[in-house]
Chain A
């Protein structure tokens, strides 16, 4: 087996046994990045030299028998996490040359635990998008191909498309993502990997570039549920520098993956059976239900009546917050500046040059919904509906322990599809947005292939701060699905 095929769990053990060195492990991945990134464009910045230096230090630590949980494990870092001394762009021209003098809490936690960063992964600009086509550094290619069609370039999903593609193609063993309305789960589904958005407040937002503060949450993406658990263990934890971070003990996530599901109640929300859902998505869902039943779960039909307002509400709340969060990119203190004779003209020129079309669209929508005369009809009403959505989940979780739904209404689509109509693009997040609005943890796990040979993910949604049940149910699906398919483009294929 090649080093790039290993899971993080297996690599940890191999490094400890000295079956191979961290330099070998990181080197294999760096080589894969050098070979494939030109094509996939999964990384905006590759930090190969720093990664190899870190690998050498990791070997020294391993030699002393002092390995930390992630010592020597090569990871990709979504280019939304500020990394001390390493360019952090948010995939925007605005921050093309921005080098933060600080390290985000989540990445600092990973470094504390010995992780090696191979580079900064591509994303939709400021995490706004569902196909990773909105990057100022170019689109990301999904390493998967439709059966019998090696030419059509598929999107990896978004916004954490670079992370998903890099993990799927084995350029790194795992990656960080951020999820505001599905930005971890939907690309995980499109790229045939696992990804979890933990409970809002579980991972610190400090040092992560904000899109929509009340929704943004960091989480791991990896090829197995257990690897996600290992990464989340390091990323999570209370941070006094983030007022919305929650001071709540982080349980043993890895142990949760092996938990017996006997007696677990799994809710199937009726409202997720949306009109026009492709039969193969419905079939994958039904298979997931059967697997969980076989694992000893009790399947319960539940209702989340406000689900149908989720997407509309999300596209008020998230742009509103983004319109304010992105006001700081004004060309005055850092980032891009387009000089102009007056301050107002400088703002206009800088922001026109710095922001792409989708970011500008969302800033305009957000500005509109917060404007005098529209605030009550849009923002205020959206907040009320958001509370109803939250209550939907609370009520459902009085009956059941987790919910099972599809992650996305389709498999990965081709670049160029769905691109004329932003609303069509927004519909990709229809299943993922409600959990974001409620702040509850949700995970996508690969469950099978579509008729065209593309991965399909199922989503497990849990109670607030009960990532353990989510991981347990996802692990059961993973085991039952025995998803061993690999994408066409990957490190092992030369």
Chain B
């Protein structure tokens, strides 16, 4: 599968690299004790350090370092046992100290890799260049007052991980798959909630185009794109813009651009000439960040099973198809739910029910796995009733819908509604006889060779028994008399 932009002068190849800013899940900020939680009244999660008061000093939050190391391990990346913090200097009203503490030359995490799967099942590896820790800035609000801007420093100093990919992405779809996979890994690790709408995960997109076999051409950076769909749109639109420029004899300027989804265009934010000179230098308030190998190993040992490994295990251990396994591991909660249902039961039956009726019910009712009225244990209990012959598959659907409504257990629903499957051969024989008596004409047709009518008789018997007849016994009884 390949993605080609057909220009007037021939095909163009797309080259994309992503810089993802992922907000670290932690109790407190990267260098202060203030709460890092989202929300809260403006300026209520702000320490004197965050507000840049005179004489205040940063102290590294070890939990944020642990989260970065976990993420690095999850990205199969090299952990740098010694890294360093630098100051990135620029003036803005929501940047209290006038510099952002970041890691410029010596990041905590080096090269890694993320494996992505495309719609056609093909697999590609996207390289990770680096991951570094840095502080978030505060928030400026320009729409609260006609003449003044307001500033909320709650977010100022919250830890971010900047995860930089190699320029390995060649299609918009790959960018989407990469972001989804990265988000999945972060969520599994519990290091970032991956919520792009709330801004806890944002992407800067570097886009360039080239003719096959050429070295890289000039790239543009599209800042702060806040949904996966927009990232893919922005890439397509920006690539088309660049192709147009090259083909009309111009050249692309290296610059920072913004994506405007409403107008379907990217716009220049600032050119290279106007680019900030950040005057990076090592932060003299902080010593080099040294982590012990043994500590990294203990974090590694405590890592949860990650999506790729889990998917493989589901295939191996439960014998379910790769596609189903992929669906089930998309979220940790789904995978856990499935495993609870499948444990000690028919794992394929469990997968069919979870992916089929259960997901459909969640979609229909707008619920999540966390607030579903049917628990994993509840669904498992229902599967037990199918397996031990208490109910048949058809009745099970009815029981499931009832459970969804009532929140009761499958056994209680079966009991209350008298849905227990009939295995009493006397009752079945009686029902069979009644159906034959009522359909003498069809019986004659069947006997004259119209075999297909067997199904008709099964249906009629099941209907007479309100669906509760054991299908195997009903078949057997019919075969006998027919």
User: Are A206's CB and B99's CB within 8 A?
Assistant: no
B401 on interface, CB distance cutoff 8 Å: no
Asked if B326 is at the interface of the complex by the 8 Å CB criterion, the answer is no
Specify the chain A residue showing the minimal Cβ separation from B147: A341
Contact among B51, B55, B97, B280 for A82, CB-based, below 8 A? B55
A240 touches B59 (CB 8 A): yes
Per-residue A-contact encoding for B265-298, CB less than 8 Å = 1, 0 else: 0000000000001011100111100000000000
Complex alpha-carbon distance, A344 and B90, angstroms = 12
Where chain B touches its partner, the secondary structure class is loop
* Interfacial chain B residues near A321, Cβ < 8 Å: 281, 284
- Minimal Cβ-Cβ distance residue in A for B99: A324
A241/B57 in contact, CB under 8 A: yes
Are A370 and B281 within 8 A (Cβ)?
Answer: yes
Count A-side interface residues using an 8 Å CB cutoff.
Answer: 44
The 6 closest A-B CB pairs, nearest first, are A327-B98, A214-B284, A370-B279, A213-B284, A328-B52, A207-B55
Q: Is A20 an interface residue (CB 8 A)?
A: no
* B149: min CB distance to chain A, Å: 8
Contact A324 B87, beta carbon cutoff 8 Å: yes
Contacts of A82 in B (CB 8 A): 54-55
What would be 30 A-B contacts, judged by CB atoms less than 8 Å apart? Answer: A82-B54, A88-B54, A90-B54, A100-B53, A100-B55, A101-B48, A102-B53, A104-B55, A205-B55, A207-B55, A210-B55, A242-B57, A243-B58, A243-B59, A243-B285, A244-B284, A244-B285, A244-B287, A324-B99, A324-B279, A327-B91, A328-B53, A328-B54, A332-B93, A334-B53, A334-B54, A344-B91, A370-B280, A372-B279, A379-B281
User: Taking the complex as formed, is A209 at the interface, i.e. its CB lies under 8 A from any CB of chain B?
Assistant: yes
Cross-chain contact B284 with A328 (CB below 8 angstroms)? no
For chain B residues 27-71, which have a beta carbon within 8 Å of chain A? 48, 51-60
A213 to chain B: which residues have CB within 8 Å? 284-285
- Min distance, Cβ A140 to any Cβ of chain B, angstroms: 22
Closest to A126 in B: B54
Residue B315 CB within 8 A of the other chain: no
The minimal Cβ–Cβ distance linking B88 to chain A, given in whole angstroms, is: 10
**In chain B, residues 430-471, which have Cβ atoms closer than 8 Å to a Cβ of chain A?**
none
Contacts of A212 in B (CB 8 A): 284
**A82–B55 Cα gap in the complex (Å)?**
7
**Max count, chain B CB within 10 A of own CB: residue among A207, A213, A324:** A324
B96 in contact (CB, < 8 A) = yes
Does B151 lie at the interface of the complex (its beta carbon under 8 Å from any beta carbon of A)? yes
A326→B91 CA distance, assembly (Å): 11
Residues of B within 8 A of A208 (CB): 55
Judged by a CB distance under 8 angstroms, whether A98 is at the interface is yes
Measured CA separation A472–B89 after assembly (Å): 44
Task: Name the contact of B89 in the complex, choosing from A102, A324, A332 (C-beta under 8 A).
Answer: A324
Whole-angstrom distance between the Cβ of B98 and the nearest chain A Cβ: 2
Bound CA–CA A241/B59 (angstroms): 6
B82-118 contacts to A (CB < 8 Å): 87, 89, 91-93, 96-99
Q: How far is the CA of A206 from the CA of B58 in the complex (A)?
A: 10
Whole-angstrom distance between the Cβ of B28 and the nearest chain A Cβ: 14
In the complex, A474→B60 CA distance in Å? Answer: 38
B165 to chain A, nearest CB (A): 25
Q: Are A328 and B96 in contact (CB under 8 A)?
A: yes
Given that A214-B284, A244-B285, A379-B281 are known contacts, is A330 also in contact with B54, CB under 8 Å in the complex?
A: no
Q: Given contact pairs A102-B55, A207-B56, A330-B91, enumerate 10 new A-B contacts (beta carbons under 8 Å).
A: A82-B55, A88-B54, A90-B54, A100-B53, A213-B285, A243-B60, A324-B87, A370-B280, A371-B279, A375-B281
Which residues of B sit under 8 angstroms from A81, Cβ to Cβ?
55
Q: Does A95 contact B (CB under 8 A)?
A: yes
Residues of chain B from 117 to 158 with CB closer than 8 A to chain A in the complex? 149, 151
Of the candidates B56, B96, B149, the one having the most CB atoms from chain A within 10 angstroms of its own CB is B56
Report whether A371 and B54 are in contact in the complex, using a CB–CB cutoff of 8 Å: no
Q: Mark A68-102, 1 if CB is under 8 A from B, else 0.
A: 00000000000001100000101000010010111
Q: Contacts A242-B57, A324-B89, A370-B89 given: A332-B284 contact, CB under 8 Å? A: no
When the two chains form the complex, which single residue of B149, B277, B287 contacts A372, counting CB atoms closer than 8 Å? Answer: B277
Q: Is A15 an interface residue (CB 8 A)?
A: no
Q: Which of A207, A242, A333 contacts B51 (CB 8 A)?
A: A333
1/0 contact string of A182-215 vs chain B (CB within 8 Å): 0000000000000000000000011111101110
Chain A residue numbers with a CB within 8 Å of B58 are 243
Which chain B positions have C-beta within 8 A of A332?
Answer: 93, 96, 151
Q: Nearest chain A CB to B20's CB is how many angstroms away?
A: 26
Total number of B residues with any Cβ neighbor in A under 8 Å:
30
A206 touches B93 (CB 8 A): no
Which single residue of chain B is at the shortest CB-CB distance from A209? B54
The residue on A at minimum CB distance from B276 is: A372
Question: Nearest CB to that of A94 among chain B residues?
Answer: B54
List residues of chain A with CB within 8 A of the CB of B93. Answer: 330, 332, 343
With contact pairs A213-B285, A328-B54 given, residues A333 and B96 touching in the complex (Cβ less than 8 Å) = yes
A346's nearest neighbour on chain B, judged by CB, is B93
Residues in chain B near residue A95, CB distance under 8 A: 54
Given A98-B54, A241-B57, A347-B91, decide whether A320 and B96 contact each other with a Cβ distance below 8 A: no
**Complex interface: chain B residues within 8 A of A307 (CB):** none
CB distance from A360 to the nearest CB of B (A): 15
Cα(A283)–Cα(B48), bound, Å: 51
- How far, in whole Å, are A490 and B469 apart by their CA atoms in the complex? 113
A367 within 8 A of B: yes
Residues from chain B with a CB closer than 8 A to the CB of A100 are 53-55
Q: Which residues of A contact B99 (CB under 8 A)?
A: 324, 327
Residues 226-280 (chain B) with a chain A CB within 8 angstroms: 277, 279-280
Q: Are B98 and A328 in contact (CB under 8 A)?
A: yes
Kindly state the separation between the CA atoms of A244 and B93 in the bound complex, as whole angstroms.
28
What is the bound-complex CA distance between A420 and B48, given in angstroms? 39
Q: Which residues of A contact B279 (CB under 8 A)?
A: 323-324, 367, 370-372, 375
Taken together as a complex, chains A and B put the C-alpha atoms of A88 and B55 apart, in Å, by 11
B281 touches A102 (CB 8 A): no
- In the complex, chain B residues 337-365 whose Cβ is within 8 Å of any chain A Cβ: none
User: Can you name the residue of chain A whose Cβ is closest to the Cβ of B48?
Assistant: A102
Could you give, for residues 400-415 of chain B, a 1 whenever the CB lies within 8 Å of some chain A CB and a 0 otherwise?
0000000000000000
- Residues on B with beta carbons closer than 8 Å to the beta carbon of A320: 281
**Cα–Cα distance between A364 and B298 once the two chains are bound (Å):** 47
Of the candidates A88, A206, A333, which one forms a contact with B52 in the assembled complex, judged by CB atoms under 8 Å apart? A333
Question: Cβ of A206 and Cβ of B91 under 8 Å apart?
Answer: no
Question: Contacts A324-B87, A327-B98, A333-B96; is A205 near B57 (CB within 8 Å)?
Answer: yes
Residue of A nearest to B92 (CB): A343
Determine the chain A residues whose CB is within 8 A of the CB of B51 once the complex forms. Answer: 333-334
* Closest Cβ neighbor of B60 among chain A residues: A243
Q: Determine whether the beta carbon of B57 is less than 8 Å from that of A206.
A: yes
B287 — which chain A residues lie within 8 A by C-beta? 243-244
Least Cβ distance of B279 to chain A in Å? 4
**Bound Cα distance from A98 to B285, whole angstroms:** 23
Residue numbers in A under 8 Å from B53 (CB-CB): 100, 102, 328, 333-334
Which residues of the other chain, A, contact B57 by a CB distance below 8 angstroms?
205-206, 241-243
CA separation between A209 and B53, bound complex, in Å? Answer: 9
- Set B55, B87, B98: member contacting A330, Cβ < 8 A: B98
| Nearest residue, chain A, Cβ from B149 | A343
In angstroms, Cα B284 to Cα A243, docked, is 10
Complex contacts, B97 vs chain A, CB 8 Å: 327-328
CA of A343 to CA of B48, assembled, Å = 22
CB distance from A296 to the nearest CB of B (A): 39
Q: Which residues of B sit under 8 angstroms from A206, Cβ to Cβ?
A: 55-57
Over the window 228-261 of chain A, the binary record of Cβ atoms lying under 8 Å from chain B Cβ atoms (1 yes, 0 no) is 0000000000001111100000000000000000
The distance from the CB of B307 to the nearest CB of chain A, in whole angstroms, is: 37
Q: Which residues of B contact A324 (CB under 8 A)?
A: 87, 89, 98-99, 279, 281
- Give the distance in Å from the alpha carbon of A81 to the alpha carbon of B55 in the complex: 8
**Chain B residues, Cβ within 8 Å of A242:** 57, 59
Q: Give B52 Cβ to nearest chain A Cβ, in Å.
A: 4
Closest to A321 in B: B284
**Chain A hits for B55, CB < 8 A:** 81-82, 100, 102, 104, 205-210
